[in-house]
Amino acid sequence: MSTHYLAHVTTGLLVPGEGVVETYLAEEANIKLWSPVAVVAAGSGEYIARAGPTSSASDAKVIGIVVGPLRDAENLYACDAAGQAIQVCTKGKCKVRVDGTDAIAVGDALVSYEGDYYAKLMVANPGLTGAGAAQHWDDATVAANEAVLVTLVNAMQAGFAMALYAATVDGDIIACYVYGARGTPT
């Protein structure tokens, strides 16, 4: 069973005034509070990107976590219609909904999860093989690890927050520190 830690904090930052909260228009209805969101295309006639949930693993376009407002307390929705204003923590301490089935420890980096509305543990080593880090890699070793290295670099770029509490269950809501928005590298 999942646990909602710090339940007394119903919206906003964990420490008011110590972080950055920006307002975005919601891409779609029913975005859950404490969920990672990514920048998405602006709506028709708009000139600023909207924020929406991501279902991509390790999405480098995640800009932060939805921290308000609470429009539907039963389902923890921050919006109930596309185009409504939502508050997104882009830097600072807030809560985040996680999939803790791969145990998350304090200090672990978080990335977006394949399922909407969750963050997960960033994989530290996706399985490099061959020569050790201190050894010279010949062309064959580099070629054998190229896909893994690309995956690792992409995951490092996608880490958007650090866990400030441990989690071991899918659906836990824990404290985290959002690093701050950064552009998607080219």
pLDDT in tens, 92-114: 999 999 998 889 999 998 988 87
Could you tell me the pTM of the whole model? 0.81
Output the CA torsion sign for 86, 17, 121, 131.
positive
Q: Are strands 170-178 and 85-99 parallel, antiparallel or unpaired?
A: antiparallel
- Return the ∠ at Cα 94 (arms to 88 and 95), rounded to 5°: 100
- Average pLDDT on 149-170 reads 81
Judged by average pLDDT, the poorest of 33-37, 75-79, 120-124 is: 120-124
What pLDDT is attached to residue 120?
84
Average pLDDT taken over every residue of the chain:
83
User: What is the CATH number that goes with domain 19-122+159-178?
Assistant: 2.40.300
pLDDT in tens, 22-75: 999 999 999 999 999 999 999 899 999 999 988 787 788 889 999 999 999 888
Answer whether 49's CB lies under 8 Å from 40's CB: yes
Q: Which amino acid is at 111?
A: V
What pLDDT is attached to residue 95?
95
Measured CA to CA, the distance from residue 72 to residue 57 in angstroms comes to: 27
Q: Which residues contact 78 (CB under 8 A, 6 or more apart)?
A: 26, 31, 32, 33, 66, 67, 68, 69, 70, 71, 86, 87
